[in-house]
Amino acid sequence: GAVVSQHPSRVICKSGTSVKIECRSLDFQATTMFWYRQFPKQSLMLMATSNEGSKATYEQGVEKDKFLINHASLTLSTLTVTSAHPEDSSFYICSAFLLAGVQETQYFGPGTRLLVL
Amino acid sequence: QKEVEQDPGPLSVPEGAIVSLNCTYSNSAFQYFMWYRQYSRKGPELLMYTYSSGNKEDGRFTAQVDKSSKYISLFIRDSQPSDSATYLCALSTGGGNKLTFGTGTQLKVEL
């Protein structure tokens, strides 16, 4: 299957700092990537849809000025959590959209665990 | 009513059992149906993909889609302890649109 990587896998930061998470599709080009967060024992919650070369589309209730998304190339999207606070601590997962013929799927990265102290 | 309903479990079965996981949905526009497996503290891993109705088999896994009933299933044969994970159904209307997930079913396969 297609491979999506995330970096870092784990980050601990102080309250008020900004954290950047990278999502890369390693063996395919992804015009669209998605960012999710997941709390323990809950399903994935979509935060935003990231399209290469254009502004991200945020889900209702997600602050676009707090969660900055940049999709600068067909293989890289970044999520920056600005002025992080303890309530931002979560598991952040990206996915990359793959279109191959009639098959449309999303491949997920391994996730980034953020802990804000 | 949620767009996608999935029993959260937990579901506990003995090793070697056949496992049946299911989701029901309400939006008839869904065309793409996926099953993901997620281990604790890991990203979801794509297990099965089906476009429109029908069955698909891959090793010990079989996915079924019944669009008339708005019902999808994942069967796991000869279940193994390594199958213990959370299984998420995910549906899409296509066109690169977002996935709509079930809540996930937690499965435990015991020795």
Instruction: Supply the pLDDT for residue B100.
Output: 94
Burial of B16 from C-beta contacts in 10 A (0-12 / 13-18 / 19+): exposed
User: Pick from A44, A93, A104: which is nearest to B94 by CB?
Assistant: A104
Instruction: Supply the pLDDT for residue A72.
Output: 84
Q: Taking Cα atoms as reference points, which of A93, A49, A107 lies closest to residue B34?
A: A107
Q: Taking Cα atoms as reference points, which of B99, B91, B89 lies closest to residue B8?
A: B89
Is there a contact between A43 and B32 if contact means CB atoms under 8 Å apart?
A: no
Confirm or reject contact between A110 and chain B (CB < 8 A): yes
Which residue type is seen at A16?
G
> How do residues B73-110 score in pLDDT, each as one tens digit?
999 999 999 999 999 999 999 888 899 999 999 999 99
Q: In which region does residue A9 sit, left (phi positive, over 0), alpha (psi from -120 to 50) or beta (all else)?
A: alpha
What does DSSP assign to residue A86?
Answer: G
Using the predicted structure, report yes or no on whether residue A111 has a pLDDT greater than 80: yes
> How do residues B7-39 score in pLDDT, each as one tens digit?
988 999 999 999 999 999 999 999 999 999 999
Is there a contact between B44 and A1 if contact means CB atoms under 8 Å apart?
A: no
